[in-house]
Amino acid sequence: MPAGADPQAGGEPVQLVRRAVEAFNRAVEDRRPEPWLDLYDAAFEGEELEESHLRHVQGRPGLSAWFTTILERFDAPRVEVEEALSTGPDEVITAERWIAPPGPGRRGLDARLFCVHTAREGRISSRHVFATREEAVAAVVGERAPGAIGYE
C-alpha cells in the first residue's frame, strides 16, 4: 500500500470516482453522456478502455467521442468498482471490472483494470489505466510513467 494511503475509502475523491462510475452506467442506459461528462474537468487527460487496448483521451470532447465509440462496439457496457482506495488528498486507485455481454455482431467484454484517478476542484482531472495493481501503485509512488498498458 502506498505511503499515505487511506484504507477508509470514504473521502471526497473516492466518492467522486464512485459517482462517476454510477453516472457512466446510467449514461449507457440512457444513451446520454452529459451528466457523466459533468463530473470530469474540461482539461481531462487520460486513457479509457476500447476493446483490448487503451485510447488516449483529452478533454470532455474526447470523452464524448470515446463514449460514442464504446456504444457502437458494445451493446450494454457496464463498470463495477471492486475496490477504491484514497492514496492522497486528490488521488484514488480503483480496481474495476468492465463488462459487456456479447450481442448480435458484437463481441463481449470482461476485463479487470486498475486505475489511478486525480481529482481537482470537485471533478476528475485525470485517469490512467493499468493492467495490474502493482503498476497502478508504482505510478502513484512515481516509479513508472502513467499508461503502462499503452494506448493508441
Residue 149 lies in a domain: no
Give the whole-angstrom CA distance, residue 130 versus residue 146: 8
Domain containing residue 42: CATH number: 3.10.450.50
Residue 16 lies in a domain: yes
Closest CA to 67 of 91, 107, 40: 40
Residue 152 lies in a domain: no
Residue 147 lies in a domain: no
CA distances from 82 to 20, 98, 137 (A): 14, 10, 16
Residue 113 lies in a domain: yes
Residue 150 lies in a domain: no
- Count of the separate structural domains present in the chain: 1
Give the whole-angstrom CA distance, residue 36 versus residue 64: 10
Residue 114 lies in a domain: yes
Query: What is the predicted pLDDT for the residue at 150?
Result: 41
Query: What is the predicted pLDDT for the residue at 6?
Result: 47
Give the whole-angstrom CA distance, residue 116 versus residue 108: 25
For the chain, residues with pLDDT lower than 70 are 1-10, 51, 143-152
Closest CA to 150 of 6, 25, 52, 24: 52
Residue 146 lies in a domain: no
Instruction: Tell me the residue range of the domain where 35 lies.
Output: 12-140
Query: What is the predicted pLDDT for the residue at 10?
Result: 59
Query: What is the predicted pLDDT for the residue at 142?
Result: 81
Bridge partners, residue 122, by sequence: none
Q: Is 136 exposed, middle or buried (0-12, 13-18, 19+ CB in 10 A)?
A: buried
Q: In the structure grid, which three cell numbers stand for residue 65, read together?
A: 467521442
Query: What is the predicted pLDDT for the residue at 143?
Result: 61
Give the whole-angstrom CA distance, residue 60 versus residue 37: 6
